[in-house]
Every structure is written in C-alpha cells, then in structure tokens.
C-alpha cells in the first residue's frame, strides 16, 4: 500500500553541525530515514537549516513556511526541544508531526531511532493515533503596549534575576485578583509542559486531553502558595511588583527582560500542534518508561 503522506519534510537539530562524530551520526540518521521514505513512495524535502547544518545535499530544501504550505507530514529527528521549536512554527499550518528520538525516549519524540522502519511503515499507511496539544499565546505588556509576543507549547516562566532575591508577582485570572506571590518565580504550564520544569517545581501531571493549565510557584516564600490547575480558556496576567532583573521565558527559548509594572498576559492560542503516534500508543506508556514507574515489579 502506498503512503498516505506524499510530501514529507525532515527536520533535525538546528544547532548540530556537520563536523565531528555527533554531526556525522545525525547526518547518517537523517539520510537513512530519507532513503526509507523514498522507498515508501514519499517525496522527501529537508528543512533549510537542517540541510545546511548537516551538510546534506541532493534533496529539495524548504524553509518552515514552505513546509507548512507544501508538506503533508513533518518528521522530527532529535529530542523534545527540537520538536517544541518546530511545533510552534508549524502549528498554524496544521501539518502533523512525528518525533523520532536518537537518544533517550522523549515525551513528545517517542519513536526510538533503532525501530523507525518497523514503526513508520504502518503509520505512513494511515495506521496511527492522533494527539492534539494546545499552545499558549503570551505577551509582555509595558505601558499599555506589547513589547514581546510569543507562542509556547510547554510553559511560560517568570524568573527572578540570577544574583537578586525573590520577585513579587501580582497574579490575576480573568481580571480577578488571585494573590501577590513572593517567590523565585512562577510557571504557567500546558499539559505538555506539566512533565517539564513544572514537574520539577512540584506541579502535577496533566493528561494531554485536559483543557487546562497548571500555575506553579517556584520556591514560594509562603508555603501555602501551592500549584493550581486552571481552565485554559482563562486569561492569566502576572505583574512584576518588585525584584530586580526579572525575566520571562517561553519554552525556555525566547527570553524577555522585565521591568517593574510589566504584565505578562497568557491566553490560549487558537492553534494547536498535531502529533501522530504508533497505533496503540498510550500516554501512560510514555510516562511509565520516561519516569521509570514500576521498575523492579514483576
């Protein structure tokens, strides 16, 4: 049976260079996947920066906008960070993504490279589970003007400065005052991001099907400031009240320096990311493997 996906884009780690053993290994992995896809009847293109960084030639090349406009599927080879970056950029195009992990199993790049041929073949024929992940739209407002605008699939984090003490943050939900929090920072995480920084700060795991976010304080001064789960239709606003050198990050990649009085406003994006998983995939299988649940239990 022919592939359901005719035009497939390959995306690798943007920061990987072609020289050295690691670069050669990544390049060989991508070329092996490209050969496999071609054998399945797919037209293969490489994302521009991937081809440039890896020194790959002999294949058509497209930028992200071109992939969004022309491709039926994106195959992301790398880790969860690579998937987060491309997922945000392709979300408004609706291109589905499959993640192939060369290292340890990722939460969203969940297909081991060693088994990509046996796993991808039925998926390309249409045998897969589809999983939609919500995005956050965050703005930094200063004196009534937007000075920074970003999407986040994992989390929006407001942090204290590296050498300063706590920050004081005023938190509002849908215009209603919630609390003034003194802490090292505050995390707003999607269900996807609930397994990232929010988890290490004591937040709960949220199943991807839950239309919610989790608000997690980082080392709060008052121990009664606990994580709280909110509906993702809410607007969350965080105002910088006190503290030096505070900053905001969006999936730990986009940074904005903050001033007193700045407001970080977070709403649900109208776009979502489409992930495809092997038939029979379960979120709990991923948690069990990644978090090493039930190890030693017969």
Residue 131 a catalytic site member: no
Residue with tokens 């990649």: 253
Cβ-in-10-Å burial (0-12, 13-18, 19+) of 36 comes to middle
Half-sphere exposure of 220 (CA within 13 A, CB side): 18
Structure tokens given for 69: 């406009």
Query: Which one from 80, 110, 131, 155 is the annotated catalytic residue?
Result: 80
Residue with tokens 């802490």: 183
Cβ partners under 8 Å of residue 67, min gap 6: 9, 11, 45, 47, 74, 90, 93, 95
Q: Coil, strand or helix: which one is 210? A: coil
Active site residue ranges = 80
């Amino acid at each position: 049976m022919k592939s359901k996906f005719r035009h497939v884009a390959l995306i690798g780690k943007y920061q990987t260079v072609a020289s050295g053993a690691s670069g050669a290994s990544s390049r060989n992995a991508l070329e092996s996947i490209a050969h496999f896809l071609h054998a399945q009847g797919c037209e293969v293109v490489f994302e521009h920066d991937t081809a440039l960084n890896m020194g790959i030639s002999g294949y058509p090349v497209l930028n992200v906008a071109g992939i969004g406009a022309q491709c039926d599927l994106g195959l992301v080879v790398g880790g969860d960070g690579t998937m987060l970056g491309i997922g945000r950029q392709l979300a408004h195009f609706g291109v589905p993504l499959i993640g192939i992990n060369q290292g340890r199993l990722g939460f969203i790049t969940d297909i081991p490279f060693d088994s990509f041929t046996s796993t991808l073949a039925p998926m390309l024929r249409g045998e897969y589970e589809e999983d939609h992940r919500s995005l956050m739209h965050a703005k930094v407002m200063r004196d009534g003007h937007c000075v920074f605008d970003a999407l986040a699939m994992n989390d929006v984090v407001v942090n204290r400065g590296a050498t300063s003490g706590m920050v004081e943050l005023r938190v509002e939900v849908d215009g209603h005052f919630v609390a003034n929090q003194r802490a090292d920072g505050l995390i707003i995480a999607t269900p996807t991001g609930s397994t990232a920084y929010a988890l290490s700060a004591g937040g709960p795991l949220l199943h991807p099907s839950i239309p919610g976010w989790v608000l997690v304080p980082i080392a709060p001064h008052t121990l009664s400031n606990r994580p709280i789960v909110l509906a993702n239709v809410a607007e969350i606003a965080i105002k910088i009240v006190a503290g030096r050198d505070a900053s905001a990050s969006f999936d730990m990649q986009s940074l904005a320096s903050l001033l007193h009085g700045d407001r970080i406003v977070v709403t649900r994006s109208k776009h979502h990311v489409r992930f495809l998983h092997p038939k029979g995939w379960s979120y709990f299988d991923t948690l069990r493997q990644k978090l090493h649940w039930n190890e030693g239990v017969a």
